[in-house]
Amino acid sequence: MGLFFCRTTLLARKSHFSFRKMTTASPLLLSPKQVNDLTTSSPASVKVLDATWFMPNSPRKANTEFLAKRIPGSQFLDLDEVASSHDLGLKHMMPDTTIFAQACEKLGISPTTHVIFYDSHGVFSAPRALFMFRCFGHQNSSIIDGGLPRWADEGLPLEADTPTQPQPAHYPVPGLNDEAIKSYDQIVSNSRSDPSKDGNTSLVLDARAHGRFTGTDPEPRPGLSSGHIPHSLSLPFNMFLQKHQTKEGGEYTTFLPPSEIRQALSNAVGPAELEKIMDGKRSVVTSCGSGMSAAVLWLGLQLLGVQRIGLYDESWTGYAMRPSSQIEKSL
């Protein structure tokens, strides 16, 4: 049975509050200039958050870099802190409703605040923050396409002084759209069916590098096997992105135009499956190493107007850590 028809309870995450969209949807992507205009004209109704996250094997520290250089007035959102604990010790898992509401209050966010995320890669971890807010019904949320590097490259102001502490806000405990978040049991159940033979089976799109998907390259997490979930398809997240050079010789990413995202999706799943996805006849679940870059695929699909999208929160780390998981290593 397809994931979008499964009623399996998410472990300790399903809210007793009904999910609802609390605000009118804002554009998914904003340019730096658009954000600068918003923060200038309506500073009280906008909250800009640095959602930068680095891979576990990186020496860079997101909060340290935030303190050294950031968009004026922004706050730091630690995706590993605003998260639920996990039996396997996995990081940045979807928070429960109370943790989310408390984090919003501490950051000065109310249900009507337009929350705008950025990261220091261009596009990498900000989509995960956007996914989280949208799952809790906070539709008035966006990311900066190109993030901090594009902001700086376009000559917009930066600050390095001590960040201003936000005034606490009131944020009622929201509902959670748990249909958008897929559990291990749901993924295993789905993997037993071949999508080419079962129209109710979801397509699982893996955002990791292709070598990790096939098992020819190692995982960045020591001791973790590479490979892939049975019947999943490889779609590295950077296939939805384009690279840019800054005036100072740096590099950042932005999303491709929708027509090129659509072509990248077609290349991964084939033209026939593309049409099923676009018509709502095939559900899709995105996955990656730990649930971070899977949100890049999620956002790219959102930009195409795809409706039936879920994200496997544990992703490959949670799947491969379990001895009972079936791991395939092949092209």
Active site residues: 288
Any idea of the CA torsion for 150, 155, 156, 159, to the nearest 10 degrees?
100
Give the sign of the dihedral formed by CA 280, CA 283, CA 285, CA 286. negative
The pair of three-digit structure tokens given for residue 213, joined into one six-digit string: 């998907």
Looking only at the bridges linking them, the beta strands covering 309-312 and 181-182 are: parallel
Contact of 121 with 252, CB cutoff 8 Å = yes
Helices (H), 142-203: 147-153, 184-191
Any idea of the CA torsion for 214, 53, 137, 99, to the nearest 10 degrees?
110
The pair of three-digit structure tokens given for residue 264, joined into one six-digit string: 């990248």
How many angstroms separate the Cα of 286 from the Cα of each of 13, 183, 302? 19, 12, 12
DSSP run (H or E) holding 141: strand 141-144
Using alpha carbons only, how large is the chain's radius of gyration in Å?
A: 19
11-95-52 Cα angle (round to 5) = 135
